[in-house]
Amino acid sequence: MTAMTDNAMPVTPRAIRDEMIVFAIMTLLLLIVPLTDLYPFFVMQALCCALLACAFNLLIGYGGLLSFGHAMFLGTGGYVTAHAAKVWGMPPEFGILVGVAASAVLGVVTGIVAIRRQGIYFAMITLALSQLIYFIYVEVPFTHGEDGIQGIPQGHLFGFLDLSKPTVLYYVVVANFLFGFLIVFRAINSPFGEVLKSIRENEQRAISLGYKTDQYKLLAFILSGTLAGFAGSLKVYVVQNASLSDVEVSMSGLIVLMTLVGGLGTVFGPVVGAFIIVATQQYLAGFGSWVTVIQGSIFVACVLLFRRGIVGEIAHFFRRSL
């Protein structure tokens, strides 16, 4: 394997300490956002995307598996949570739980199919699977087709946190994001993560050492899909709707782009990338479909000029792993 692992570095205790420091800074920055002029809605949207990109990065950055269909998990988590909250009247904690469970099930089903091939085929298969899921959501009645599920009540988390209050919602989203981020962080620094990296580097070798690589890949896929679904469920309480645009191929592409811009296989890259891409979408909204052209150009520039991504370049400069 070659450059998909540009950002690969051995994880030493020192690197973990660096990562802890950056994590502390990130947490602090997120906590003081309501005191600044930053628009909390923008930060919350970016955080949902960041969680999504972190989940995606777990697969590509550490397992070497490029999923071009992660929008299916985002959409599934979103639709199921939206339905649970609006039609079944579930409180947020159960709404999120149901959405996450649904994406986990989808992760198992699609994972069993997708991990049967590697590399380029894996990407095409996940893309086709997400298109299949897209067409299913177009047909089934509970998603309300083109209209989507609108006006979702935010409710009270655990009965006392009123999510319709912007500040409460903000801190709930931050807490959930940090929770999801730490799950990914824990996974990549665990023995499981080490095996995953060995599969990325040399799957045949890992097999010969006695690892059942298919099981590891499947587990990574399910974990990644579940967390992506978690991001989708969370997003429902932020934007209060769920629509087909979250399941579209362009969304899957956007997830790839965020991670690529930030740095494939870096811990914090997906977060940085998500903030940048969500910001470009906000500021360039007036340019209409030129946004697509700009995003395409970023793709091309990233692949041709800086494959390490922003965080990857910084880490490379300081010879650290971030």
Partner 1 sequence: MSISLPALSAQLLVGLINGSFYALLSLGLAVIFGMLNIINFAHGALYMMGAFCAYFLLNIWGIGYWWALLIAPIIVGIFGMILERTMLKWLAGLDHLYGLLLTFGLALIIEGIFQNYFGSSGLPYAIPDQLRGGTNLGFMYLPIYRGWVVVFSLIVCFATWYLIERTRLGAYLRAATENPTLVRAFGVNVPRMITLTYGLGVGLAALAGVLSAPINQVRPLMGENIIIVVFAVVVIGGMGSIMGSIITGFALGVIEGLTKYFYPEASNTVVFVLMVLVLLVKPTGLTGRAA
The contacts of residue 6 (CB under 8 Å, 6+ apart) are: 264, 265, 307, 308, 312
Nearest approach in angstroms of CB 243 to partner 1 is 18
Q: Hey, how many other C-beta atoms are within 10 angstroms of the C-beta on 9? A: 16
Concatenated DSSP letters of 192-224: HHHHHHHHHH-HHHHHHTT--HHHHHHHHHHHH
Nearest approach in angstroms of CB 274 to partner 1 is 17
Half-sphere exposure of 305 (CA within 13 A, CB side): 8
- What stretch of H or E contains 149? none
Nearest approach in angstroms of CB 161 to partner 1 is 40
Q: How far apart are CA 255 and CA 285, in angstroms?
A: 18
Q: Hey, how many other C-beta atoms are within 10 angstroms of the C-beta on 276? A: 17
Nearest approach in angstroms of CB 9 to partner 1 is 17
Binding residues vs partner 1 (CB under 8 A): 1-4, 66, 68, 112-113, 116-121, 123-125, 127-129, 131-132, 135-136, 138-139, 249, 253, 256, 260, 288-293, 295-300, 302-304, 307
Minimum CB distance to partner 1 smaller for 15 or for 249: 249
Nearest approach in angstroms of CB 126 to partner 1 is 10
Greatest alpha-carbon pair distance for the chain in Å reads 55
Minimum CB distance to partner 1 smaller for 259 or for 321: 259
Minimum CB distance to partner 1 smaller for 45 or for 67: 67
Minimum CB distance to partner 1 smaller for 47 or for 66: 66
Q: How far apart are CA 113 and CA 90, in angstroms?
A: 32
Minimum CB distance to partner 1 smaller for 41 or for 299: 299
User: What SS3 class is residue 163?
Assistant: coil
